[in-house]
Amino acid sequence: MSLLTANRPLAHLTPPSGWMSDPNGLWYDAKEGLWHCYYQYNPLNAVWDIPIYWGHAVSSCGMKWEHMGIAIKPRTDRAGVFSGSAVVDYNNSSGFFSDAVDPRQRVVALWTRNTNGNQSQMVSYSLDGGYTFEEYANNPVLDIGASNFRDPKVIWHEETRRWIMVVAMSQKFEILIYSSTNLTDWKYESSFAHQGCKGYQYECPALAKIPLLNAEGEEIKSPPESNWVMFVSISPGAPQGGSATQYFIGDFNGTTFTPTTPQARFMDWGRDFYAFQPSFNSPNGKDVLGLAWACNWQYALQVPTDNWKSSLTLMRQFHLQKHNTTQEYSELALYSSPVWNTDKLERGIMHHWDGIEVESNSVSIFNMTSGAKGLLEFSMEWSVNTAEVSKADFADLSLYFKGAMSEVEYLRLGFEANAGSFFIERDHSRINFVHENPFFTSKVAVDLSPYSISNGVATYKVRGIIDRNVIELFFNDGAMAATTTFFVSNENYIGWLEVRSSVNKVYKITDISAQQLNTITD
Amino acid sequence: MSLLTANRPLAHLTPPSGWMSDPNGLWYDAKEGLWHCYYQYNPLNAVWDIPIYWGHAVSSCGMKWEHMGIAIKPRTDRAGVFSGSAVVDYNNSSGFFSDAVDPRQRVVALWTRNTNGNQSQMVSYSLDGGYTFEEYANNPVLDIGASNFRDPKVIWHEETRRWIMVVAMSQKFEILIYSSTNLTDWKYESSFAHQGCKGYQYECPALAKIPLLNAEGEEIKSPPESNWVMFVSISPGAPQGGSATQYFIGDFNGTTFTPTTPQARFMDWGRDFYAFQPSFNSPNGKDVLGLAWACNWQYALQVPTDNWKSSLTLMRQFHLQKHNTTQEYSELALYSSPVWNTDKLERGIMHHWDGIEVESNSVSIFNMTSGAKGLLEFSMEWSVNTAEVSKADFADLSLYFKGAMSEVEYLRLGFEANAGSFFIERDHSRINFVHENPFFTSKVAVDLSPYSISNGVATYKVRGIIDRNVIELFFNDGAMAATTTFFVSNENYIGWLEVRSSVNKVYKITDISAQQLNTITD
């Protein structure tokens, strides 16, 4: 089996070498206009191990990252710098900073020290804008004698003018909420426990106030509904297998988080979206952005890449909006869209068609071999007249994204009307791992509700970004997302898009476009 | 593609011909010692369609069924007799029965009439012990002008001496609870809404008081904890894809169901367990048994069987028991075990080994070709020393159940220590459907917590029943289950069991056994 050195994603953050897992401490430097992203990092080996560090990368656009080496390391080799977050302490509430440090760069990191039998919360601060960190002298700041107590995420709660930490008692299925005025003294406030799907561990909690938009996409300034969101990752034991990230919409009063409904919801329907980390700060100071680890603990240790393993997702921006879950019920849902500006990229020819009534015996082909570097974007809007779909038929509309060098390898995406579900097939590959690993599911499904439905005609939308070995899909303007890795032979980048259907004139493609992209070399 | 006529399960209920989906109205006749099972049935075609009927089968042991034809049919061809339940009206509360009908056979069925735009609840009663039904003259008994209002499940609530119905407002995500003293006049009591994973529809709710056992397996007579369970099926939109059944443990006071925790839990980790139907009555009058549809709406219409489609699961018996979810947390969980008495079956040689330390370069083979009819049972207990597992290894213990006629076809089951997960591979098959249908996932995972753990040695148990095209697995004495269909060439029944591991002496099999079985021809 050849290891896939060449297929390292271009626009997704990967480790320079070694192992990457959870994103940590994502923050935005408003002075420099720069994103800082840290991550769980083992530079020595492309496998999780102790000691583990915070790796560090920076990016101005979120689509191309520059590696900055190790930001935080453990005091001893038998400890781990586990996951956590970063804040900007503008007002020097911690007392760590002199006036020499610009308020916009007063970065404090909160992370979990893992030793044999103990996990406790630590504080480190940076005097150089996030590149190097000093450990707070009186660490740990929070030690309750627990062995599975980790992943502090700290936010500023403007309404009560204090810091709020959410941190997981992983194997007791509790998210503990603490408050502080100085980032070092923490007071217990409440617990958010036994919510959603529990799996076998809660990890990487987060809490964020998310902008609420109306149907026209305008922000509702005085929201009548709660617009706080609690994020909880679970692994192992997600119903879809292994690792997944849940979210809960509700109200946070500075002390307690109260979900609006008791329901369980997942952020992403793919197999590879874990440990979601929202950013502290953003370019306009109020948008909520964040990213996740694009892998799954069921197979992360074995993915067939060379001397590096895993990537993060693209940065995504979030908002809450009413979603028509069914024709009888609508409710707030978490919408996401990728941070994605093609002006920052080299662009190939834009292939675009519209108004196609898809016939069963025809194949529509886009030749996109020119400029194929493994990075491309596509979008499609399609409709189906449900009354014309026979229950006895397999009624698909499929997109085959085929390798430029060999069409034996391809990603197949599609929709099947009787299942009401979108699908991703990621097993049309020459890579042994894809077939041999029993957890790397070849087929991934996203059960879709229509974007709109009128007189029995249901309309759907999908937008996708494919980056060498990871695909991110956004459905119906971001009401659902699916992130999934895939592996094909080195440099067999996607060069052909074929559109097919097994049924005649059931589907109409209102609009389809696809474009090769590449990152710009500085 | 050959259609799989010969591979019809032996011990699972399948339709004589045509289409089967949800089980309905399961009840036990204490006079005759007979189970009656009804199900959604289209006798004309192996595809879901209107009109749809209640098919009917009876069994004394629950492992072999006799077909009884159609029990309930719609008044017009454009209507459907949708899902519902049956009760035994011992005291003739309904007034339908004369003294000529034995109290143990006074069967009343409650079901949903589906017409274009309306779903309402209907009552039918049987004067011949469940074989034929009369429609109540004043039907419907419950019509609230809704188009997605279905699947009434009725129980007797002894504490308040009245009937309780749970019924789904499917696309509003509410389970409505009604009460009645006579089965025809129904009073609204409460709603259980927006709980668990919602998907795009709630279907087939059920409510049952489940025996509570202590760690020694003895029933706790005056339980200190709530032992009511609400069941809610969702389809489409289950996180694992398509259709799945959830359960909630809590308290029911005759009016309102209150879950103990807000968590979402699934009854079964396979792909094929939907529309769970608990029985009314049981041989000892207090056990709770039930069964489900062993299929998934994502691919049910396309499964490659001939003139019949789908089966139900085996009957299962349920209890609640404390489960060590993690080493730090235990809570009540729903345990299940199959109704499975091999005294009722022809038995082949029992293959049995114990104390095997599995070496990476060895293959242990059980030749089970003799007597292979596609029905067999196996069990295994294994342990793994987690400290000896390298993170860099794919550390599996695998069971290959290979075809007696051709070993090209096999089911692979196994456990991988780094993922902490059991897996099922169902794609080693010559059947095109298995590979071509994008929803028929080739790989199914069951994230397991250990049965016990001591000094880093984790022990696990699995018990499995394989019946031609369906496998039911029970882990750790029934704390988890996984039911999954699979399809191999006609009559290529399992004849070989091979045990392999990719790692040396990491696994120890304490106990393994396997046996060919067959139903006894009367």
Going by pLDDT thresholds of 50, 70 and 90, the confidence category of residue B522 is low
User: Who among B195, B199, B442 is closest to A447 (CB)?
Assistant: B199
DSSP assigned state of A435: H
> Would you call A201 and B419 a contact, using CB atoms and an 8 Å cutoff?
no
| B28-71 tens-digit pLDDT | 999 999 999 999 999 999 999 999 999 999 999 999 999 999 99
pLDDT of B355 > 90? The answer is: no
CA–CA separation, B427 and A437 (whole Å) = 13
CA–CA separation, B365 and B410 (whole Å) = 14
3-state secondary structure B404-424: CCCCCCEEEEEEECCCCEEEE
* Structure-token pair, residue B322: 């404390």
A82 — phi, psi (to 5°)? -85, -175
Question: Is B3 within the bounds of a domain?
Answer: no
DSSP assigned state of A433: H
Looking at the structure, tell me whether residues B292 and B391 fall in a common domain. no
Question: Is B28 within the bounds of a domain?
Answer: yes
Question: Is B281 within the bounds of a domain?
Answer: yes
pLDDT of B2 > 60? The answer is: no
Amino acid in the structure at residue B481: A
| A34-81 tens-digit pLDDT | 999 999 999 999 999 999 999 999 999 999 999 999 999 998 888 999
Task: Pick the residue from chain A with its C-alpha nearest to B325.
Answer: A200
Q: Is B405 on the interface with A (CB under 8 A)?
A: no
pLDDT of B414 > 70? The answer is: yes
With beta carbons under 8 A apart, name residues in chain A contacting B237: 447, 449
With beta carbons under 8 A apart, name residues in chain A contacting B423: 438-439
pLDDT of B203 > 90? The answer is: yes
Check residue B520 and give its pLDDT. Answer: 85
> Would you call A421 and B427 a contact, using CB atoms and an 8 Å cutoff?
no
Write the CA distances from B82 to A328, A420, B48, B112, B363, integer angstroms: 20, 21, 12, 5, 50
Over pLDDT 90: what percentage of chain A?
A: 91
Which residues of A, range 284-323, sit inside 8 Å of B by Cβ? 297-299, 301-302
Mean pLDDT, range A169-176, rounded to an integer: 98
Looking at the structure, tell me whether residues B304 and B423 fall in a common domain. no
Check residue A467 and give its pLDDT. Answer: 98
The alpha carbon of residue B109 is apart from the nearest alpha carbon of chain A, in Å, by 28
| Residue of A242, A272, A155, A151 lying closest to A205 (CA atoms) | A151
Looking at the structure, tell me whether residues B357 and B230 fall in a common domain. no
Task: Pick the residue from chain B with its C-alpha nearest to A237.
Answer: B447
> Would you call B391 and A200 a contact, using CB atoms and an 8 Å cutoff?
no
Domain boundary among B338, B371, B399: B338
Question: Is B13 within the bounds of a domain?
Answer: no
Residue length of chain A: 522
CA–CA separation, A133 and A280 (whole Å) = 17
pLDDT of A1 > 50? The answer is: no
Which residues of A, range 423-482, sit inside 8 Å of B by Cβ? 423, 425, 427, 437-443, 445, 447, 449
Indicate the Cα dihedral angle A319, A265, A120, A109, nearest 10°.
-20
> Would you call B301 and A412 a contact, using CB atoms and an 8 Å cutoff?
no
Task: Pick the residue from chain B with its C-alpha nearest to A297.
Answer: B419
> Would you call A443 and B442 a contact, using CB atoms and an 8 Å cutoff?
yes
Looking at the structure, tell me whether residues A484 and A346 fall in a common domain. yes
CA–CA separation, A126 and A111 (whole Å) = 14
Looking at the structure, tell me whether residues B67 and B206 fall in a common domain. yes
The alpha carbon of residue B126 is apart from the nearest alpha carbon of chain A, in Å, by 33
With beta carbons under 8 A apart, name residues in chain B contacting A425: 438
| Residue of B515, B518, B258 lying closest to B401 (CA atoms) | B515
Output b/e per residue, B17-33; b: 16+ Cβ within 10 A: bbbbbbbbbbbbbbeee
Question: Is A27 within the bounds of a domain?
Answer: no
B361 — phi, psi (to 5°)? -100, 10
Q: Is A196 on the interface with B (CB under 8 A)?
A: yes
Looking at the structure, tell me whether residues B325 and B367 fall in a common domain. no
DSSP assigned state of B81: E
Quick one: which H or E segment has residue B501?
Answer: strand B494-501
Looking at the structure, tell me whether residues A322 and A450 fall in a common domain. no
Q: Is A495 on the interface with B (CB under 8 A)?
A: no
Helices (H), B181-336: none
> Would you call B445 and A242 a contact, using CB atoms and an 8 Å cutoff?
yes
Give me the CATH number covering residue A240.
Answer: 2.115.10.20
- Identify from A328, A393, A501 which residue to disrupt to test chain B contact, counting B C-beta atoms within 10 A and taking the largest count: A328
User: Who among B301, B418, B439 is closest to A391 (CB)?
Assistant: B301
B511 is catalytic: no
Question: Is B181 within the bounds of a domain?
Answer: yes
Q: Is B389 on the interface with A (CB under 8 A)?
A: no
Task: Pick the residue from chain B with its C-alpha nearest to A48.
Answer: B391
Looking at the structure, tell me whether residues A350 and A316 fall in a common domain. no
User: Who among B195, B302, B438 is closest to A443 (CB)?
Assistant: B438
> Would you call A419 and B236 a contact, using CB atoms and an 8 Å cutoff?
yes
pLDDT of B267 > 60? The answer is: yes
CA–CA separation, B9 and B315 (whole Å) = 14
| Residue of B118, B15, B26, B31 lying closest to B70 (CA atoms) | B15
Query: Active site residue: B22, B29, B272, B467, which one?
Result: B22
Mean pLDDT, range B371-397, rounded to an integer: 94
pLDDT of A226 > 80? The answer is: no
Q: What is the pLDDT of chain A when averaged over all its residues? A: 95
Give me the CATH number covering residue A447.
Answer: 2.60.120.560
> Would you call B297 and A442 a contact, using CB atoms and an 8 Å cutoff?
no
Identify the bridge partners of residue A331 per DSSP, sorted by sequence position: A323
Distance of CA B39 to the CA centre of its chain: 13
CA–CA separation, B493 and B410 (whole Å) = 9
Q: Are A66 and A59 in contact (CB under 8 A)?
A: yes
CA–CA separation, B10 and B479 (whole Å) = 26
Task: State the CB neighbour count (10 A cutoff) for residue A79.
Answer: 17
User: Who among A236, A302, A396 is closest to B421 (CB)?
Assistant: A236
Domain boundary among A338, A370, A389: A338
| B132-182 tens-digit pLDDT | 999 999 999 999 999 999 999 999 999 999 999 999 999 999 999 999 999
With beta carbons under 8 A apart, name residues in chain A contacting B438: 396, 412, 414, 416, 423, 425, 443, 445
| Residue of B107, B102, B115, B136 lying closest to B50 (CA atoms) | B115
Check residue B219 and give its pLDDT. Answer: 87
Task: Pick the residue from chain B with its C-alpha nearest to A324.
Answer: B200
Question: Is B417 within the bounds of a domain?
Answer: yes
pLDDT of A167 > 90? The answer is: yes
User: Who among B193, B329, B420 is closest to A172 (CB)?
Assistant: B329
| A461-479 tens-digit pLDDT | 999 999 999 999 999 999 9
With beta carbons under 8 A apart, name residues in chain B contacting A447: 199-200, 236-238, 241-242
Going by pLDDT thresholds of 50, 70 and 90, the confidence category of residue B1 is very low
* Structure-token pair, residue A15: 């480790």
Mention every residue, 6+ apart, whose C-beta is less than 8 A from residue B163: B87, B93, B154, B155, B156, B157, B179, B180, B181, B182, B183
Looking at the structure, tell me whether residues B312 and B387 fall in a common domain. no
pLDDT of B241 > 90? The answer is: yes
| Residue of B74, B126, B110, B127 lying closest to B184 (CA atoms) | B110
Minimum mean pLDDT among A2-6, A193-197, B83-87, B458-462: which range? Answer: A2-6
| A384-423 tens-digit pLDDT | 998 889 998 999 999 999 999 999 999 999 999 999 999 9
Check residue A76 and give its pLDDT. Answer: 86
**What do you get for the CA distance between the two ends of chain B, in Å?**
33
| B285-316 tens-digit pLDDT | 999 999 999 999 999 999 999 899 999 999 99
pLDDT of B399 > 90? The answer is: yes
> Would you call A236 and B427 a contact, using CB atoms and an 8 Å cutoff?
no
With beta carbons under 8 A apart, name residues in chain B contacting A299: 419
Looking at the structure, tell me whether residues A327 and A373 fall in a common domain. no
DSSP assigned state of A520: P
**Helix/strand/coil for A186:** coil
Write the CA distances from B424 to A109, A185, A247, B414, B439, integer angstroms: 42, 49, 29, 7, 15
DSSP codes joined into one string, B169-216: EGGGTEEEEEEESSSSS-EEEEEEES-SB-TT-EEEEEEEE--BB-TT
> Would you call B239 and A197 a contact, using CB atoms and an 8 Å cutoff?
yes
| A258-308 tens-digit pLDDT | 999 999 999 999 999 999 999 999 999 999 999 999 999 999 999 999 899
Looking at the structure, tell me whether residues B355 and B278 fall in a common domain. no
Task: Pick the residue from chain A with its C-alpha nearest to B482.
Answer: A239
CA–CA separation, B425 and B161 (whole Å) = 49
Tell me how many domains chain B contains. Answer: 2
Which residues of A, range 18-47, sit inside 8 Å of B by Cβ? 45, 47
- ipTM of the assembly? 0.96
Looking at the structure, tell me whether residues B290 and B381 fall in a common domain. no
Check residue A224 and give its pLDDT. Answer: 66
Question: Is A299 within the bounds of a domain?
Answer: yes
Q: Which domain holds residue A320?
A: 80-338
With beta carbons under 8 A apart, name residues in chain A contacting B301: 391-392, 418
- Identify from B301, B447, B480 which residue to disrupt to test chain A contact, counting A C-beta atoms within 10 A and taking the largest count: B447
pLDDT of B452 > 50? The answer is: yes
| Residue of B2, B17, B1 lying closest to B310 (CA atoms) | B17
Domain boundary among B314, B338, B362: B338
Which residue shows structure tokens 């003259």? B137
Mean pLDDT, range A162-183, rounded to an integer: 98
> Would you call A439 and B449 a contact, using CB atoms and an 8 Å cutoff?
no
